[in-house]
Amino acid sequence: MKTRLPIAICFIFGIFTLLQYFSKHPTLTAMYAEILDWMQIIFVFTLLVGVITIFKIHSGKISRKESNWPYSILTVLGIVVMAGLGFGYGTDYGSPFLWIFQNIQVPMQSTMFALLAFFVASAAYRGFRFRNKEAAVLLITAIIVMLGRVPLGHQISDLIPQTAEWIIDNPSTAAKRGILIGIGLGSITTALRVILGIERSYLGGRS
Amino acid sequence: MSIETLIAAVLTLAIFSFLYKENPFYRAAEHLLVGVSVGYYLVILVEETIWSKVARPLAYDQNWIVIIPAVLGLMMFLRLSRNRAYLTRIPLALLIGAGAGVSIPAMLWARVLKQMSASMLPLYTVSGMIVLVGVITTIIYFYFSREQEGWFGYLAKTGTYFLMVFFGATFGYTVMSRVTLLIGRMEFLLTDFLGVVG
């Protein structure tokens, strides 16, 4: 019962959503739209489980006074304040919720991503070596694309941005398409295995 | 200088302080970011889905069918229980099964057929031929059911060069996007906060 019922549910909903694609019957289309809404609702609840888990972990750290517990106060405070302001005063323009989002969350998020520029540069310095022909191709392509995106590239030669564009539109796109086709075929195979109950890893280790 | 600029600048500097080494300012900013982001998404998710797709249809339209996904969603909280966690397999099975069914035609159309037709269209140009050769050799590189030797190995090797071009271009793009963000933050610090530029 612990495994058969979920496998049966997975099969029924999987087969229905798959076969519905080939039908334009209004009842089936309405049922399909309803199932898509159900998926969205269940998915949001799964995310809420994650939110509760984060809250539990950090509040537990505070109550047990584990190492670095004062930092957890900031996490808990962030969750509580944002949730309180969002549910209490709304999320419209000019609300305190949006003020925190614009003046605390957005600057910190973009700074976090900007920080990665240093680590990417450092990784490139250590990793980009002219070891073999493949590495040379990678290195030269990266340099051309980077130069093609900045005014310096234009100043050296107009050929650099043009070459960068050509690389992105042709050989790079070709490899990207090859990867996407591979991903697509792999995803279809995995989805069929899931629907037919061959792939059961979503049930967890114990059955 | 406004209070908004001061707060944003202090938090920006706290995160940049990580470039020296990990320190309490960075860790405080990091934990605050996690908390604020979780709180933000909590409010948005509840407003956009639970309120608009569950509470409102129940309260105003008497659409009782939404009770089913709501109960299934609430069952997800049993994940927090030691003895009843297995019951979360039921909503997960629906989510994964329906997701798999939805994804098959979508993947076949967007990731396979559409990509294949786009690769074969302008064959009368050199660039079009390069794209077709690139797509085929890249797929051959990922075909592991046969030993990559002889002419097959040669094609697979050609595929690796296309892959290297793709990785190089993607790397260059990523670096430039991160540098753009860095320039934006530096501009904010130097212009809005310190007022030494512009």
> Residues 125..154 of B with a Cβ closer than 8 Å to A: which?
127, 130-139, 141-142
Structure tokens at A138: 């990678």
What pLDDT score was predicted for residue A207? 43
Q: Give me the mean pLDDT over the A133-150 stretch.
A: 90
Evaluated on CA atoms B122, B123, B124, B127, the torsion sign reads positive
pLDDT at A55 exceeding the cut of 60: yes
> Residues 174..203 of A with a Cβ closer than 8 Å to B: which?
174-185, 187-188, 190-192, 194-195, 202-203
Q: Give me the mean pLDDT over the A34-62 stretch.
A: 94
Q: For residue range B28-50, what is the model confidence (pLDDT) as tens digits?
A: 999 999 999 999 999 999 999 99
Out of B16, B93, B101, name the one closest to residue A6 (CB). B93
Q: Residue with structure tokens 């022909």?
A: A133
Average pLDDT of the residues of chain B:
91
Q: Contact A178/B139, CB-based, under 8 Å?
A: yes
* Backbone torsions φ then ψ of A86, nearest 5 degrees: -65, -45
Q: For residue range A27-45, what is the model confidence (pLDDT) as tens digits?
A: 999 999 999 999 999 999 9
pLDDT at B188 exceeding the cut of 60: yes
Cα separation values, A118 from A90, A121, B24, Å: 38, 5, 20
Single out the residue of A75, A51, A110, A78 nearest to residue B31, CA to CA: A75
> Residues 123..142 of A with a Cβ closer than 8 Å to B: which?
124, 133-135, 137-142
**pLDDT band at residue B177 using 50, 70 and 90 as cut-offs:** confident
What B5-11 contacts at long range (C-beta under 8 Å, 24+ apart), as own/partner pairs, is B5/B192, B5/B193, B6/B193, B7/A103, B7/A104, B8/A103, B8/A104, B8/A107, B8/B188, B8/B193, B9/B188, B9/B189, B9/B192, B9/B193, B11/A104, B11/A107, B11/A108, B11/A111
CA A188-A24-B104 angle, to 5 degrees, is: 5
The fraction of chain B above a pLDDT of 90, given in percent, is 64
Q: Contact A121/B175, CB-based, under 8 Å?
A: yes
Burial group, residue A114, by CB count within 10 angstroms (0-12, 13-18, 19+): buried
The fraction of chain B above a pLDDT of 70, given in percent, is 99
- The string over B13-46, giving b where at least 16 C-beta atoms fall within 10 Å of a residue's C-beta and e elsewhere, is bbbbbbeeeeeebbbbbbbbbbbbbbbbbbbbbb
What pLDDT score was predicted for residue B82? 84
B117 touches chain A (CB under 8 A): no
What A91-97 contacts at long range (C-beta under 8 Å, 24+ apart), as own/partner pairs, is A91/B43, A91/B44, A91/B47, A97/B40, A97/B43
CB atoms within 10 A of CB B62: 7
> Residues 83..102 of A with a Cβ closer than 8 Å to B: which?
83, 86-87, 91, 97, 99-102
What pLDDT score was predicted for residue B181? 87
What pLDDT score was predicted for residue A28? 92
The residue that leads in pLDDT, A129 or B117, is B117
Q: Contact B4/A142, CB-based, under 8 Å?
A: no
DSSP assignment of B132-154, as one string? Answer: HHHHHHHHHHT--SS---HHHHH
Chain B: nearest CA to A27, how far in angstroms?
15
CB atoms within 10 A of CB B183: 12
Q: Contact A177/B31, CB-based, under 8 Å?
A: no
A98 contact partners, CB below 8 Å, separation of at least 6: A91, A92
Residues from chain A that touch B98, judged by Cβ atoms under 8 A, are 13-14, 16-17, 35-36, 38-39
Q: Give me the mean pLDDT over the A6-29 stretch.
A: 93
**What is the rounded radius of gyration, in angstroms, for the C-alpha atoms of chain A?**
25
Chain B: nearest CA to A102, how far in angstroms?
9
Chain B: nearest CA to A43, how far in angstroms?
7
Q: Give me the mean pLDDT over the B160-187 stretch.
A: 91
Q: Contact A149/B134, CB-based, under 8 Å?
A: no
First to last CA, chain A: 9
What pLDDT score was predicted for residue A201? 87
Single out the residue of B95, B83, B89, B135 nearest to residue B114, CA to CA: B135
Closest residue in chain A to residue B117, using alpha carbons only: A177
A1 touches chain B (CB under 8 A): no
Domain ranges of chain B: 122-198
Average pLDDT of the residues of chain A:
91
Structure tokens at A16: 């229905």
B6 touches chain A (CB under 8 A): no
A30 touches chain B (CB under 8 A): no
Q: Residue with structure tokens 């973009």?
A: A110
Q: Contact B134/A177, CB-based, under 8 Å?
A: yes
pLDDT at A170 exceeding the cut of 50: yes
Chain B: nearest CA to A163, how far in angstroms?
11
**pLDDT band at residue B161 using 50, 70 and 90 as cut-offs:** very high
Out of B37, B168, B179, name the one closest to residue A105 (CB). B37
Residues from chain A that touch B163, judged by Cβ atoms under 8 A, are 175, 178-179
